[in-house]
Structure 1
Amino acid sequence: MENFSEFDLKGTAPQRNFSDIIGHAFNNYMKIIGWSILVTLLTFVVSILISSLTGPLVGYNALESQAEMEELMKDGSFADGSIVTRMFQIPGYLESMLLSGVLGLLMYPVYAGYVYAMHRANTGQTVSLSDFFIGFRQNALQYIVYGLIMGIAVMIGFMLCVLPVFFIIPFFFLGIPFILFENASGIDALKKSFSTGGSNYGTMLAVSFISIIITIAGIILCGIGILLTAPFFYAAMYSAYCAYIGVPREIQNPSH
């Protein structure tokens, strides 16, 4: 649970428009870019280690699976969709995906750390590595619940030809800040995020869409670029929260 301390903050809040929110997010992100890249790299390494362990645990061989997928793509199976069916027939593939998903949910609270670090940068406070892990010390279960609900919604969006994902993200965009700054439960955060996102859908759609595009651009840049671009999504998330809700009250981080 968070402990709030009341004092005057010097943080800024952008106007409720696309350009102001993105500009505000960029300014905050640049203040902590070094920390953000480090944490993203650490998270990436942990994810790789988890993936390498979960496969053998359920009898899944990633190298063999990749070779088989390449063969299916060569003979045109990708076009008719049979590649998806074949992938799920590979021993251990489904189990590995499910286990990776569970472990991924357990990592979900780290995203709150990016938002919290943006807040500290915005209010002129010193940012440290421990700030990025506040989500594991406070309300961790609520982030996991929220991540599960959002993950299901995104999965359904991908099943509907990917494009719907972009249109549902605005409804989920502010969930993490609501849990972090208002001590909301995962369900309450979902309701508040839906309400704010729905009432300001055009701007929220534009902000979340550009944030996703920036992240995708990092993947295109030889993959390694995602270390630089991925955290911007959470900078935009924080700035949008400040625009529509206001600069939040300060959270007393137990590690400080």
Structure 2
Amino acid sequence: MSEFNEFDQQGSVPNRDTGSIISHAFEMYKGIFLYAIVSMIIYVIADSILESLVGFNLWSFGENIRDSDGDISNYRYYYSPGFSLYYSFSGVLGALLSPIYVGLIYMTNKYNNKATIEFSDLFIGYRQNFVNILIYSLITHVVLRIALAMCGIPFFLVFPFFLLGYPILLFENASAIDAMGKAYNIAKDNYGTFFVVSLLGLILSFCGLLACCIGVLLTGAFMTTVMYSAYCAYLGKPRQITYNK
């Protein structure tokens, strides 16, 4: 087993405020930027394979948005061929790929500790605590999708409660339920900060969509460093952890 329970309060740790956490996340993101792009490429390839299997074209949806100048009120994309299957299985795909996001958090911690980052670190989530990461991700996808279906606004209200889940699963080797409970309790007691941090993180992560969707490869994984920085702010910077390869 890996050592997940030691913490080092020295080093790069942001204050418990929105500006400090986001600034810290930017600094961390610069250190894992290339690996973040790789993670997004993996996701795009996997998503493209899923689209081809179910017969749904997500790119055409983006084109319809651009052609309508952002007004999609009359566009019933959920009637598009293959959309139901795509919507159902994309959540499963997201859960299966979630260990890669955990890997980015692990890389961020190595960068913060000035340790050498290896490409294999990106896949630590498949070797360490995988079952709990998968369970947590599936539960998260279900809850957030339900929230998103409720006019979208509840999604932004609920998301902060999941901000610390992945770092807790990684650094504390917690179970899915324990990670969810701990993340919820911390966010509940600091909801204002967590809400603004989550909102800014989501906006910055998806701002790449404005660049013909291709730019999301550059920004899509930014939320992982936001999660790490928020974890450091409220629970301390983890020591460099080791695991059995």
| TM-score w.r.t. length of structure 1 | 0.83
| 1:10-49 aligned within 5 A | 11-49=11-49
Please give the alpha-carbon distance, in whole angstroms, between the structure 1 residues aligned to 2:111 and 2:132.
Answer: 24
Of 137, 146, 152 in structure 1, the residue corresponding to residue 142 of structure 2 is 152
Cα 1:6–1:189, aligned 2, differ >3 Å: closer, same or farther? closer
Q: Which runs of 5+ in 2 are unaligned?
A: none
Shift in Å at residue 47 of structure 1?
Answer: 2.4
CA RMSD of aligned residues (A): 2.7
Cα 1:37–1:84, aligned 2, differ >3 Å: closer, same or farther? closer
Cα 1:218–1:236, aligned 2, differ >3 Å: closer, same or farther? same
Q: Is the 8 A contact 1:115 1:234 kept in 2?
A: yes
Please give the alpha-carbon distance, in whole angstroms, between the structure 2 residues aligned to 1:13 and 1:145.
Answer: 29
Q: Is the 8 A contact 1:11 1:124 kept in 2?
A: no
Please give the alpha-carbon distance, in whole angstroms, between the structure 1 residues aligned to 2:7 and 2:156.
Answer: 38
Shift in Å at residue 51 of structure 1?
Answer: 2.9
Cα 1:15–1:6, aligned 2, differ >3 Å: closer, same or farther? closer
Please give the alpha-carbon distance, in whole angstroms, between the structure 2 residues aligned to 1:109 and 1:203.
Answer: 26
Corresponding residue for residue 248 of structure 1: 238
Shift in Å at residue 45 of structure 1?
Answer: 1.7
Of 100, 124, 134 in structure 2, the residue corresponding to residue 110 of structure 1 is 100
Please give the alpha-carbon distance, in whole angstroms, between the structure 2 residues aligned to 1:145 and 1:5.
Answer: 22
Q: Which runs of 5+ in 1 are unaligned?
A: 56-60
| 1:1-256 aligned within 5 A | 1-4=1-4, 11-52=11-52, 54-55=53-54, 61-62=55-56, 79=73, 83=76, 86-87=79-80, 90=81, 93-255=83-245
> What whole-Å deviation, never above 9, does each CA across 1:21-75 have from its counterpart, x for those lacking one?
11111111112212221222233223222332x31xxxxx336xx69xx7xx99x
Cα 1:8–1:179, aligned 2, differ >3 Å: closer, same or farther? closer
SS in 2 for 1:114: helix
Cα 1:14–1:41, aligned 2, differ >3 Å: closer, same or farther? same
Please give the alpha-carbon distance, in whole angstroms, between the structure 1 residues aligned to 2:218 and 2:77.
Answer: 31
Please give the alpha-carbon distance, in whole angstroms, between the structure 1 residues aligned to 2:227 and 2:147.
Answer: 20
Shift in Å at residue 84 of structure 1?
Answer: 6.3
Q: Is the 8 A contact 1:10 1:123 kept in 2?
A: no
Structure 1 range deviating more: 100-109 or 18-27: 100-109
Cα 1:199–1:47, aligned 2, differ >3 Å: closer, same or farther? same
Code of the residue aligned with 2:56 in structure 1: it is: A
Say which one has the larger Rg.
Answer: 1
Please give the alpha-carbon distance, in whole angstroms, between the structure 1 residues aligned to 2:15 and 2:162.
Answer: 20
SS in 2 for 1:184: coil
Please give the alpha-carbon distance, in whole angstroms, between the structure 1 residues aligned to 2:202 and 2:12.
Answer: 24
SS in 2 for 1:250: coil
Aligned length: 238
Structure 1 range deviating more: 28-37 or 169-178: 28-37
> What whole-Å deviation, never above 9, does each CA across 1:160-192 have from its counterpart, x for those lacking one?
101111111110100000100001111100000
Please give the alpha-carbon distance, in whole angstroms, between the structure 2 residues aligned to 1:47 and 1:106.
Answer: 12
Please give the alpha-carbon distance, in whole angstroms, between the structure 2 residues aligned to 1:202 and 1:8.
Answer: 26
| TM-score w.r.t. length of structure 2 | 0.86
Runs ≥4 residues deviating over 6 A: none
